[in-house]
Amino acid sequence: MVIKVTSTMKFDVEKFNSWNNFNSWHIKMHTLLVQQYLFKALKCVDNLTKRMDDEEKEDLIEHAHNAIQFYLFNENLRKVVKEIIVTRFWTNLETLYMTKSLINQLYLKYQLYIL
């Protein structure tokens, strides 16, 4: 006899703006997408399971795209909104905010001064 245990967890992920720490937001969003079974959509569309039909794949991709959009402030959303493919959307966010931009450097200095 197999017992399937499911749990409902509530995640509190704050929306990302340019002043938040992108790395921690990225990790939290990754965890959220995994918990909601949406992270598969961030991988290449061709790698999605063959057991899924096209409609299920499209739904999965759309849900992942909407979940990421929901946790972005308007200013950040405007920078990547033109991307409709979720993998490119996620990659653009990483490219914009994981680099050593001036804003990230200022944020790190701000955090250092707070200490």
Name the β-bridge partners of 16: 72
pLDDT digits (tens, 9 = 90+) for 55-97: 888 888 888 888 888 888 888 888 888 887 888 888 888 888 8
Residue 95 in domain:
yes
Q: Is residue 13 one of the residues assigned to a domain?
A: no
Angle, CA 102 vertex, CA 100 and CA 107 arms, to 5° = 90
What pLDDT does 94 receive? 84
Residue 17 lies in a domain: no
Domain assignment present for residue 98? The answer is: yes
In this prediction, residues 20-31 reach a mean pLDDT of: 83
- Residue pair 89/83 in contact (Cβ under 8 Å)? The answer is yes
pTM higher than the cut 0.95 = no
**Is residue 12 situated within a structural domain?**
no
Residue 103 counted as domain residue: yes
**Domain enclosing residue 102, as ranges:** 22-114
Is a pLDDT exceeding 70 seen at residue 25? yes
pLDDT band at 2 (very low <50, low <70, confident <90, very high): very low
Distance of CA 74 to the CA centre of its chain: 15
Number of domains in the chain: 1
57 assigned to some structural domain: yes
DSSP 8-state assignment for residue 18: T
Let me know: does 61 contact 41? Beta carbons within 8 Å. yes
